A and B are shown apart, each in its own frame.
Chain A
Amino acid sequence: MMKVKVRFFARFRELLGADVIVEVGERTTLPDLIKQVTQKNVEGHNAIFDEHGHFREYVILMRNAKRIDIADAAMNIVADGDDVAVFPPVAGG
């Protein structure tokens, strides 16, 4: 098993907590990872994923400080020690 850190920000943090350390198996993709973390939190899951289980189009994903396009997320296999950040754009002024 590998350990991966997932960090949520803003609204996602309110729903899912700030930092989560997750144990994942081999060949876990980024969407699999975030689904695993949010599976027991319907509101948190629905804030990040649409009804088809795809990332909502405005979700920002970072892996080890590098931006991951959500269209490419499923091609990203997480590795031991990865730091994944998930956040929505904040809009108010």
Chain B
Amino acid sequence: MFSERERERYKRQMMLFGDEGQERLKKAHIFIAGAGGLGSPVSIYLAVAGIGTLTVVDRDVVDQSNLNRQILHYDRDIGRKKTESAEEKLCAINPDIRIRVIDTTIEEKNAGDLVGKADGIVDAMDNYPTRYLLNDVSIRKKIPLFHGAICGFYGQATTIIPGQTACLACIFPKAPPKEVFPVVGVTPGLIGMVQATEVLKYLLKRGELLTNRLFIWDGIQAHADEICMERNPRCTACGSFCETPGDI
């Protein structure tokens, strides 16, 4: 059921997917790993779309050098916990949804508990070791993982349905070396929108998901490519995954 205020707020998108679709979004819980370059646009757009519960996890404080891309955080937030800053903005953007923030580092020992019973995991991280942890949780708990990553004007995204599609480790078995990556805010803005669109489509059960396909964006050339992927039977993360009937 929706309040008058909610009906008015979501009126234009309910033209697309009706009460039933909006209800699906309202009942959903999405876990967003990171409140940085990707986490900012993803959380803002999922909040305005009316996802009922958003959990945002981050361990950092806002730094001046974040502000060219991390649009959840303002100049006045420098030195403040990103989770605090994110909570304030997201609650102000949409007071009709529930925002949960957790100020912690995602590690092997806590990753499963942090994700809990979320309906989807958004990968808005900046490193592969944590991405692999999220991938493992996704496989173990059979929760979809919406991957995105960026560097400079380049970005990539894919959607992973555990047991059915290539997982992150099928696509990227080895992490690249850690580096301070150059970035301009428009790139995580664009890739974050691909991820958020995928989350909405998954929840609404609409359209074709970006599964078994790696979307690659080259902003300099204004060119998008798509590379087909498939499960690796020898994958160290999902190779032994056996889907039983009715699992997903």
Contact = CB atoms under 8 A, between A and B. Distances in A.
A91 B128 CA distance: 7
B218 A11 contact: no
Nearest to A89: B172
Nearest to A62: B227
Interface residues of A, number: 22
Given A10-B151, A57-B174, A88-B176, A93 B227 contact: no
B175 interface: yes
A18 B124 CA distance: 27
Contact of A18 (B156, B171, B179, B221): B221
Main DSSP-derived SS at the A contact region: mixed
Contacts of B34: 93
Chain B contact-residue range equals: 35 or more
B178 A91 contact: yes
Interface of B: 34, 36-39, 123-128, 148-152, 154-156, 171-172, 174-179, 181, 183, 188, 216, 218, 221, 223, 225, 227-230, 232
Nearest to B172: A89
B126 A93 contact: yes
A13 interface: yes
A92 B227 contact: no
B103 to A, nearest CB: 18
B216 A60 contact: no
Interface in A38-93: 57-58, 60, 62, 65-67, 85, 87-93
B150 A90 contact: yes
Contacts of B156: 10, 89-90
Q: Which of B149, B151, B175, B229 has the most CB of A within 10 A?
A: B151
B183 A89 contact: no
Contacts of A62: 227
Which residue of A14, A87, A92 has the most chain B CB atoms within 10 A of its CB atom? A92
A93 B38 contact: yes
